[in-house]
Chain A
Amino acid sequence: MASVEFKSVTKSFGDFKAVSEVNFNIGDGEFVCLLGPSGCGKTTSLRMMAGLETPTSGQILIGGDEVTHLHPKDRNIAMVFQDYALYPHMNLADNIAYPLKVRGEAVANRHGRAREVADVLKIGHLMDRLPSQISGGQQQRTSLARALVYPAKVYLFDEPLSNLDAKLRLEARGFLNHLQRDMGMTAVYVTHDQAEAMALATRIAVMDQGKIVQYASPIEIYRRPATTFVANFVGNPPMNLVEVDGTQAGGQLVLKGEGLAMAGLPMTDAIGNALASSSKLTLGVRPEHLSLTAAGATNSISAPLFANENMGPESLVTIDRGEGARVTARIFTDDHLHVSDQVSLSFSAEHVHLFDAMGKRIPAVGE
């Protein structure tokens, strides 16, 4: 196990900067998720760790040693690919044992070790099968077994669960989580699924347009998103963002917006700084912090109902404030709401997030 460090790493493809001046540090035994939308540079970052891409500039360190221009085979890393990359002409035993074969292990040794790992992953009884003769979930575990069969410094995962169906993905996710905590391995995991990142990571690096927007623990990212981008990416459904107009009145911050009724919030220096440059602020409230209330209540937002989706234990109630500005609440309710009914959703002041005109978080009192 080892740490990984990026020192102002940039990767350009022609004029396009896939990764731009990225700095970060992955501690020994950490499970870090690189999270972001397609094209944000997360996979490129992972491939640079693996040595499958070479940075245009910057340095990459694994376990304190510089590996920036080292060939993948000399880095002592393991990687699980999105398409599993199982060799169709080899049976499972040979597939899993392949990294040991290229290391010159004898057949008996390497097949024994492959069997051990396969047993842990519950595919030990399939060792004679070809990859085409097993299911998708089993293929996924075979590729995992091939990565685990030899001791690597860092384990890299490139969206390993994205080809599985929803139920299997949940199962595999739980297993990976257990495995990583059990082995204490250093793992870097690329995903665009925020739920996967939240469930697995000890720290999440949220990436956008080649840059790391926020690098923090899942709970920190959930509770204190650094920008509106992070707020909008993490959470299911994501945080509601409402454009508001802020003014200072009587030592309090007064927020005004369509359908919004709010008591004044305590002023802070940070809010004052934000207001000094622009009165346009963004108010953020998570769907799970909203509840149904009577019309005109304080700290509430009202608009006609757009949709009411019953998910079983809860409902997603969405109201439409006009021009596509919608607010969604996760509510435990059996109420019969009708489209176009006026609906009010209330929240408490402690669950309010504020972002300035540039989309940057304004720290709340006590942060």
Chain B
Amino acid sequence: MTTEPISTQPQRKVRNFALLSNRAGAAFMLPAGLLVSVFVIVPFFWVIFVSFTNRTLIGKTALNPDFVGLGNYLALFDPATFFQRGQFGFSLILTTQFVLMSALVGQALLGLLLAWLIQTVPPWIKRITETFVIAAWILPEVVIGFAWFAFLDRDAGTLNMLLTGLGLPPGDFLLQQPFWVIVVFNTWRGAAFSMMLFNSAFSSIPPSYFQAADVAGASSWQKFRDIGLPLIRGHIVTDLILITMWTFNTFTPFLLTNGGPSYRTELVSIYNYRVAFQDFQFGKGAAVGVIMMLINLAFALIYLRLGRKKAPKS
């Protein structure tokens, strides 16, 4: 029988060299550190502070805001108005639906499907697909927002022109189906990231795994279910958490619908913007910001935990 030892995981070596002395390194870090403090760390604590006041842009409380304790938070979670349109709860539920449909179902599923399909196509089709999908991803938000607005516009939009040309009835999608418009928009916008992530994950699986399955008689679906999917599970978890966070915070749908009509596409980020910068209730807006920060923190902690669990394995 075999006697050679079971192969052990190679220990990662700690690199014991530095390009700069500690002091020189600190000197280089200082300007960046100062900027980060001024523009990130100070506002972070400032927002938390403001969320406990009734600070506004104009009026008496602009100069001398009162400390209201948890007043802003209690107002946000007031059961009487929580689920009403244009209120925090409504916006939070809408965002949850938006994340579920556009990130988890739309982006992740579509990205996974595309990534799997381009594994087997000829290389030139793969390259073209990648180029187009990435193009959708690297375009600036405002450009995309305008492009989609031009696409969906009722009177001069490309989509309605196409529909009319095909003899189908045109529609005013931005008014009639605003939620589904932003879901499709965000799916289109973000599927590229998931596709690229899953694509690289699939590429990292040794080709002999799939060839062995081919020879053994497995169909494409069986290869996906039994080999492809289980071997990229870690990447899927990473992807789901990242796109959940991004979609939760996304503001771009504002460019298409302004949060309307009648608050039907008012995601929490847009709600936050409206409260703080249209209604000028800084205190309440800051409270929304703090709650969003806490939700993001929860996601980030889950993400870091999973990342740390995975690290010693790889």
A272 contacts chain B at the CB level, 8 A cutoff: no
Given contacts A135-B4, A135-B5, A168-B2, contact A85 B217 (CB under 8 A): no
**A47-73: which have CB < 8 Å to B?**
50-52, 71-73
Residues of B within 8 A of A52 (CB): 211, 214-215
Name the residue among A79, A85, A102 with the largest chain B CB count within 10 angstroms.
Answer: A85
B208 contacts chain A at the CB level, 8 A cutoff: yes
Given contacts A83-B206, A88-B231, A102-B222, contact A51 B214 (CB under 8 A): yes
Task: Flag if A89 contacts B230 (CB, 8 Å).
Answer: yes
Residues of B within 8 A of A280 (CB): none
CA distance A85 to B2 in the complex (A): 20
CA distance A146 to B218 in the complex (A): 13
| Least distance between B304 CB and chain A CB atoms (Å) | 24
A306 contacts chain B at the CB level, 8 A cutoff: no
CA distance A165 to B218 in the complex (A): 32
Would you give the 0/1 interface string for A119-163, flagging 1 where the beta carbon is closer than 8 Å to chain B? Answer: 000100000000011111110000000100010000010000000
Task: Flag if A135 contacts B208 (CB, 8 Å).
Answer: no
Q: Please tell me which one of the listed residues B2, B218, B230 contacts residue A135 in the complex, with CB atoms under 8 A apart.
A: B2
Query: For chain A, which range describes its interface: under 10, 10 to 19, 20 to 34, or 35 or more residues?
Result: 35 or more
User: Is chain B's interface secondary structure helix, strand, loop, or mixed overall?
Assistant: helix
Would you give the 0/1 interface string for B208-227, flagging 1 where the beta carbon is closer than 8 Å to chain A? Answer: 11011111111100100011
Q: Please tell me which one of the listed residues A83, A99, A138 contacts residue B216 in the complex, with CB atoms under 8 A apart.
A: A99
Given contacts A88-B231, A89-B231, contact A77 B6 (CB under 8 A): no
Task: Flag if B2 contacts A137 (CB, 8 Å).
Answer: yes
Given contacts A73-B219, A79-B215, contact A98 B7 (CB under 8 A): no
Residues of A within 8 A of B5 (CB): 135
Task: Flag if B216 contacts A102 (CB, 8 Å).
Answer: yes
A222 contacts chain B at the CB level, 8 A cutoff: no
A173 contacts chain B at the CB level, 8 A cutoff: no
Given contacts A87-B227, A89-B230, A136-B7, contact A71 B1 (CB under 8 A): no
A101 contacts chain B at the CB level, 8 A cutoff: yes
| Least distance between B8 CB and chain A CB atoms (Å) | 10
Task: Flag if A134 contacts B212 (CB, 8 Å).
Answer: no
CA distance A78 to B2 in the complex (A): 24
A81 contacts chain B at the CB level, 8 A cutoff: yes
Q: Please tell me which one of the listed residues A72, A101, A150 contacts residue B214 in the complex, with CB atoms under 8 A apart.
A: A72
Task: Flag if B231 contacts A98 (CB, 8 Å).
Answer: no
Task: Flag if B214 contacts A71 (CB, 8 Å).
Answer: yes
CA distance A12 to B213 in the complex (A): 25
Would you give the 0/1 interface string for B262-302, flagging 1 where the beta carbon is closer than 8 Å to chain A? Answer: 00000000000000000000000000000000000000000
**B195-210: which have CB < 8 Å to A?**
206, 208-209
Given contacts A89-B231, A102-B216, contact A122 B1 (CB under 8 A): yes
Query: For chain B, which range describes its interface: under 10, 10 to 19, 20 to 34, or 35 or more residues?
Result: 20 to 34
A336 contacts chain B at the CB level, 8 A cutoff: no
| Least distance between A153 CB and chain B CB atoms (Å) | 12
Task: Flag if B6 contacts A99 (CB, 8 Å).
Answer: no
CA distance A75 to B217 in the complex (A): 8
CA distance A78 to B213 in the complex (A): 10
Given contacts A135-B5, A135-B6, contact A85 B206 (CB under 8 A): yes
CA distance A156 to B213 in the complex (A): 14
| Least distance between B215 CB and chain A CB atoms (Å) | 4
CA distance A357 to B3 in the complex (A): 50
Task: Flag if A103 contacts B7 (CB, 8 Å).
Answer: no
CA distance A87 to B228 in the complex (A): 10
CA distance A102 to B227 in the complex (A): 12
Residues of A within 8 A of B212 (CB): 79, 81, 85, 146
Residues of A within 8 A of B6 (CB): 133-135
CA distance A98 to B213 in the complex (A): 8
Given contacts A89-B230, A135-B4, contact A102 B217 (CB under 8 A): yes
CA distance A132 to B313 in the complex (A): 12
Residues of B within 8 A of A150 (CB): 216
Task: Flag if B4 contacts A83 (CB, 8 Å).
Answer: no
Name the residue among B5, B217, B230 with the largest chain A CB count within 10 angstroms.
Answer: B217
By beta carbon, the residue of chain A nearest B8 is A132
Residues of A within 8 A of B213 (CB): 98, 102
Task: Flag if B218 contacts A73 (CB, 8 Å).
Answer: yes
Residues of A within 8 A of B7 (CB): 132, 135-136
Residues of A within 8 A of B222 (CB): 102
Q: Please tell me which one of the listed residues A75, A81, A103, A132 contacts residue B211 in the complex, with CB atoms under 8 A apart.
A: A81
| Least distance between A56 CB and chain B CB atoms (Å) | 16
Residues of A within 8 A of B2 (CB): 135-138, 168
The 4 closest A-B CB pairs, nearest first, are A137-B2, A99-B216, A85-B212, A85-B208
